[in-house]
Amino acid sequence: MSTIAIHQPQYLPWLPYFQKISDADHFVLLDNVQYDKRGLQNRNQIKGPNGPLWLTVPVHASIDRRISSVRVADQKWQEKHKRSIKQCYAKAAHIELYEKLLEPILSNEYEFLVDLNIAIIQIFLDFLEIRTNIIKASSLNAKGRKEELMINICKELNATRYLSGTGAREYQSDIQFKEQGIQLEYHVSEIPDYKQCHMKNGFEKGMSIVDMILNLGADTRPLL
């Protein structure tokens, strides 16, 4: 059985994103669909002393623009993001991993948001020792919208099992996948409590994986 998972490339994704990648044989970065201004493609959260803090990459994106063509608006965000991460995690147990993993990536200039996101995702995959095959949807021939596109990607890659996010339940049908010989499963992730910085505010579950790696280091790997 060959398992596939598909998701838009996100900026500083959270743990469940990497759990889904880890559970698949192939992970398709959905870079050829419409950019979602309300999504997590150019932003995510870290934990600050006063609670969650959004880090947002400014972009130029019209309502009908594909993810692969979204341009980074300027490079001023880089210093702000680097400063915010260093300040929020100054007392984290593994703050040294920031300089090793993230600072080099955030110091580069990127014309396209997708290139920044993929570079970040790949550096975390390497650290987490995830060996899943990563493929850009734009490199495939599969076409269609929503459920049709997912099925066609699975068929092109000869996948017999599709791990879907739970948000797709409203428009996906088990029957459509079954008719194509594909087993549809919804990937449910659990985020365990762990020791975070700034615990006086309580535990925050929805943080970027940056939070977990800088607090736990290599102990993040078993949580996959």
| pLDDT tens digits along 79-120 | 999 999 999 999 999 999 999 999 999 999 999 999 999 999
Break the chain into its structural domains and give their ranges: 3-223
- How many of the other CB atoms lie within 10 Å of CB of 94? 18
Question: What mean pLDDT, rounded, does the chain reach?
Answer: 93
Interacting residues of 162 by C-beta distance below 8 A, sequence separation 6+: 3, 4, 5, 6, 150, 154, 177, 182, 183, 184, 185
150-185 pLDDT per residue, tens: 999 999 999 999 999 888 887 888 888 999 999 999
Residue with tokens 């934990």: 47
Please give the Cα distance from 13 to 128 (Å, whole number): 13
What is the pLDDT, as a whole number, of residue 64?
67
**What φ, ψ does residue 99 adopt, rounded to 5°?**
-65, -30
Please give the Cα distance from 155 to 91 (Å, whole number): 48
Mean local confidence (pLDDT), 37-50: 94
This model's pTM is above 0.85: yes
Name the band, by pLDDT with cuts 50, 70 and 90, for residue 148.
very high
